[in-house]
């Protein structure tokens, strides 16, 4: 066992928080300002149960924090490095998807007409 194994395990767990698309949607919803669970639900179009479950995971991992005001619970990002990481990766992926669109059109143009319709 390497002395770095605990570090690698912790990093894998940290990245694991981002491994779920719903959590990325939640991060996107609250990266600028705190919001209530109801606001998050409305913004991302998920059920309250699903959003609450993911917020619980994110809270336990230290990525988000919450505060209660009356009967409402507000969530905010507590780990700004997670926002920066999300933005960096999302920008990279979105850029590669945009780059692929012209390539796909160009490749489709090169295919025979019969193959284009099948694709």
* Rounded-to-integer distance, Cα 82 and Cα 102, Å: 31
CA distances from 93 to 33, 34, 39, 86, 99 (A): 24, 26, 27, 10, 10
- CA-wise closest residue to 48 among 59, 58, 39, 61: 39
- Enclosing domain of residue 17: 5-118
Q: How many domains does the chain have?
A: 1
Its pTM stands at 0.76
The CATH number for 89's domain is 1.10.10.10
Please count the other Cβ atoms lying within 10 Å of the Cβ belonging to residue 112.
Answer: 8
Residue that the structure tokens 């920008």 belong to: 91
Run means of pLDDT, 10 residues per run, the chain, 119 residues: 89 90 94 95 96 96 95 94 87 76 60 52
């Amino acid at each position: 066992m390497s002395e770095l194994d605990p570090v690698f395990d912790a990093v894998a767990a940290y990245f694991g928080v981002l491994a779920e698309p719903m959590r990325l949607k939640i991060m996107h919803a609250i990266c600028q300002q705190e919001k209530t669970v109801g606001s998050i639900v409305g913004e991302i179009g998920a059920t309250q149960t699903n959003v609450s479950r993911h917020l619980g995971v994110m809270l336990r991992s230290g990525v988000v924090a919450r505060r209660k005001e009356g009967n409402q619970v507000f969530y905010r990002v507590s780990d700004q490095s997670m926002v920066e990481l999300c933005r960096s990766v999302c920008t990279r992926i979105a850029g590669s998807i945009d780059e692929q669109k012209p390539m796909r059109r160009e490749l489709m143009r090169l295919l025979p007409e019969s193959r284009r319709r099948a694709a």
